[in-house]
Each structure stands twice: as structure tokens, then as C-alpha cells.
Amino acid sequence: MQEKHEIRPGQSIELLKELHILTREGKLNQDSRRKLKQVYHLYQFIEPLLKAVQAELGDITLVDHGAGKSYLGFILYDLFFKEQDNGSRIFGVETRDELVVKSQELAARLNFPGMSFLNLSVAAAIDSASLPARVDVVTALHACDTATDDAIHFALRKQARYIVLVPCCQAEVAALLRKNKAQALARNSLAELWRHPLHTREFGSLVTNVLRCLQLEAHGYQVNVTELVGWEHSMKNELIIATYQDLPRRRPSERLQEVLQSLGLEELRARFFTPG
């Protein structure tokens, strides 16, 4: 009987070896089966978004921020994009030049012509002429510190239809909570939620992602938050998927401002900007 997470027909064996999903001998071991399960789990969330863009527009433009070794981009191209006979493209944005060069070489070796790699910061990509004016899907997996927020800003500027984020913690929020802790404790018993240093860090991470969701909603997106993989695989497993629906903006915008004010985070208004 075929196992649920066996390799799908047509997948590039060379790519799976390069990503260490297959052993050098082309075999699956216990560890690689786990990795393959994670790949398919993530893909099942993104595939419907790609199909929706395809049905509406034909070709698809996807930008993957903080791409690293472009693990996600290569998997998406192998499972979906390489079968498209149109102008669909994936752009990987990464600051480490050696990883950009390596990804370029691998794409050429695999004959994946619809993949491009840019040596840019996420923030610089917003105004870069190397990227198209229209971007349909924006992804950012574990883009560290403020790079997740820059990816959101990029997606909002490009009016992306879909945004897929596996966010990293943002130290800035925790730092402000820590800075204003004494004042907060004096006026509000809820500050007990982040009085202890460990809680400050964890609460700061939670608040950061709540603010990101409110910001997306304040720009007309429908936001869903779910778990990417089980806790046994990763502690950073929150998956945020935003779909542009032109929803009412006023209430989430007001709520975002109230949260910033209630927690003493007014200094972050520019980062979590809302329309108007």
C-alpha cells in the first residue's frame, strides 16, 4: 500500500536530493519522510491560491521574501509552476549573495526558467525595478525580525491578492514592552501578562502577529491564522494567510490603534500603518 507522503509523480529527484528530502541514493528515511510531510502540508495551503490566480489571470507572479536557499520557491515551482505553459514566474528575494548565486545555479541545472533570484533586502524590493508592478502572491517564511513586516508592506504596495506568512518574532515589540513595563504595571493589572522576562518575549511575539493581522484586515484582507505543522517539528509554526476581499477597513484600523495605545506601543504606528 502506498504511503500518504510518498514522492509525487513527476517531482524532480535531483531537487529533492539537493533539499535533503532524499538521501544521496534517492531513498526516503524517517527524517526525510518528516520533511516531505512538512512540504506537502505547506503546499496544500498554497496550491488553492495559485489555482485561484490561474483561473482569474492565467499566469502567476509570486515573490518569496527572505528566500534563503529558496526551499519554498523550488518546491512550488516543481509541484506547480513547471507545468504552466505561460509567463508564470517565481522571484526569490534574499540578502545573502552566495545563496542567490547557488539558487541561480540550481535553477539552471534543473531547467526551471521561470525562477529568478534577486540580491535585495525585503525593504529595498518594494521600489526595485527588477520586480514587476503586478505581484499576485507574496510569501515569507521565517523572515527574521522586521523582514516579515517589510514583506507585508511590499504586498500592500503591490496590491497582492494573497499573502502567506510564517512569521518570526519581532524583537521591537518585546523591547518596547520591556521599556515601558514599570509604567504599564502602575496603571493596568493586565501588564502582569508580560511582567516576567520570558512572558515579555512570548507576549511580544503574540502581540506582533496580532498587530500584523489587524493591519492586513485594515487594508481590506480576510485573514486566517492556523498551524503549519505540529509542535514537535517547529516552535515557529503559525501560518497567516491573507486574501484580498476589499473588506470594510474602519473597525480593524480602530482596533489596531487601540491595541497600540493600550499596550504603550504608540511608537510603532508607522510600522503597522493603516489607510488614511
What is the spatial distance between Cα 158 and Cα 150, in angstroms, rounded to a whole number?
12
C-alpha cell at position 30: 524517517
The answer on pLDDT for 232 being more than 70 is no
8 A C-beta contact, residue 229 and residue 237: yes
Where is pLDDT greater, at 181 or 237? Answer: 181
- Compute CA 201 distance to the chain's CA centroid, rounded to the nearest angstrom: 21
Residue given cell 483561473 in the structure block: 55
**Quick one: CATH architecture of 37-268?**
3-Layer(aba) Sandwich (3.40)
3-state DSSP helix/strand/coil percent for the chain, to nearest 5? 50, 15, 35
What is the spatial distance between Cα 78 and Cα 36, in angstroms, rounded to a whole number?
13
pLDDT-derived band at 236 (thresholds 50, 70, 90) equals low
Give the least confident one: 42-56, 75-89, 244-258. 75-89
Supply the pLDDT for residue 233.
47
What is the spatial distance between Cα 13 and Cα 41, in angstroms, rounded to a whole number?
19
8 A C-beta contact, residue 200 and residue 171: no
What is the spatial distance between Cα 71 and Cα 140, in angstroms, rounded to a whole number?
12
Question: Residue ranges of the alpha helices (H) in the chain?
Answer: 13-18, 30-57, 71-79, 97-110, 122-125, 147-157, 171-179, 181-187, 197-218, 250-262
Regarding pTM above 0.85, the answer is: yes
The answer on pLDDT for 160 being more than 90 is yes
Within 8 A by CB and 6+ apart from 182, the residues are none
Residue range 161-193, pLDDT digits in tens: 999 998 876 788 889 999 988 888 888 898 899
Question: Is the C-alpha dihedral spanning 69, 73, 78, 84 positive or negative?
Answer: negative
What is the spatial distance between Cα 160 and Cα 173, in angstroms, rounded to a whole number?
26
Supply the pLDDT for residue 3.
44
Supply the pLDDT for residue 145.
66
